[in-house]
Chain A
C-alpha cells in the first residue's frame, strides 16, 4: 500500500482533514450555546460540564485544522484529530445503540441526524488521521521543518 504512504497523498489528506476541521469549528465558535445543546442531547456527559466542552472543543478543531494545513506540529495535530474522532465515534455509537434520534452537531447544518453514514464517515476520517500520524515522508511542513 505504498500509495497510502506517498507524500503527496499524505499532503492531500492533511489539507482535506484540515478543511473539515476548520469548517466544523466556525459555526460552533460562533454559536457555542447550540453546540452545548447538541452535546447534551447525546446524554453522555453530566450536563453541568457540557458548556466547558462546547467552549473548548471548537478551538481545538480550529487549531488542529490550521496546523494540518499549514504544516505546523503535524504529528500533534494528527494525533489530536484521531483522538477527537475516536471520541466522536464513541458518542455516535452509544447514541445509536440507545436509539437516540438526535442531531449530529458535527457541522453547522441542521437536520443532519445521527446515523450509520456519519459513523462510517468518522471512521474513514480516523483512518486518514492515522495515516498522517504514521507518515514516513514529510512534505511542506514548516515547523518542525520537513527535510
Chain B
C-alpha cells in the first residue's frame, strides 16, 4: 500500500474505519443488525404527496409514520383495519373499513391503483403487514399499499378521529 498517494491513504482510512465501526457495533449492547429489517418512512406533507403520486412505484408495502398517515387520511386515502371484527366494533379509525375475509372485496371501496393504508394495534402486531403483503401479492395486485406502523393506539394518542 503506497502511503504517499491519496488512494493508498484513503484505503487505509477506510480499512481502519471498517474494522472499528463493525467491531464496535458487535461489542456494544445496542448494536444494530447488519441488515435493516424495518423501515418506516417519515416526513411531512410533501413526502406524503410524493408517496401518493401515481408515478411512485412500490415493490412491497411501505411503512409510514403517524404524520404521513394523517396526511393520507386527510387526502381521503382508504384505511383498512386488519384486526378482527370484535376489536373493530370496539373502536377504529373513523371511516376505516374492516378487512374482509376475502381481500378482493376491498375492490368495493377502491381500485387496485388507489393507495390503501392498513393498520392494526401497533407494536408487535403484524396483521397489517400480512394484509398489505397479501394485497400487493400476485392474487390481488394492489399497486400501492402502506402500513401505518403505529396503528390504532398511536392514532388515539394523537387525538385523531376514531369511531
Contact = CB atoms under 8 A, between A and B. Distances in A.
A and B co-occur in one complex: yes
Contacts of A80: 10, 13-14
Interface string B7-31: 1111111101110111011000010
Given A59-B24, A99-B50, 20 more contacts: A29-B24, A32-B25, A33-B30, A36-B32, A36-B36, A37-B42, A40-B39, A40-B41, A41-B47, A48-B36, A51-B34, A56-B18, A63-B17, A64-B13, A73-B3, A79-B9, A79-B10, A99-B47, A99-B49, A102-B44
A79 B6 contact: yes
Interface string B113-148: 000000000000000000000000000000000000
B40 interface: yes
A65 to B, nearest CB: 11
Interface of B: 3-14, 16-18, 20-22, 24-25, 30, 32-37, 39-47, 49-50
Given A36-B36, A49-B36, A77-B9, A100 B43 contact: yes
A112 B42 CA distance: 14
A20 interface: no
Contacts, number: 110
Nearest to A79: B6
A41 B47 CA distance: 9
A15 B3 CA distance: 21
Interface residues of A, number: 41
Contacts of B43: 41, 100-102
A9 to B, nearest CB: 20
Contacts of A98: 50
A101 B34 contact: no
Interface string A4-33: 000000000000000000000000010011
A56 B36 contact: no
Contacts of A40: 36, 39-41
B33 A58 contact: no
Interface of A is mostly: helix
Contact of A75 (B5, B16, B20, B45): B5
A62 interface: yes
Interface of A: 29, 32-33, 36-37, 40-41, 43, 47-52, 54-56, 58-60, 62-64, 67, 73, 75-80, 83, 98-103, 133, 143-144
B32 A55 contact: yes
Contacts of A48: 35-37
Contacts of B35: 48-49, 51-52
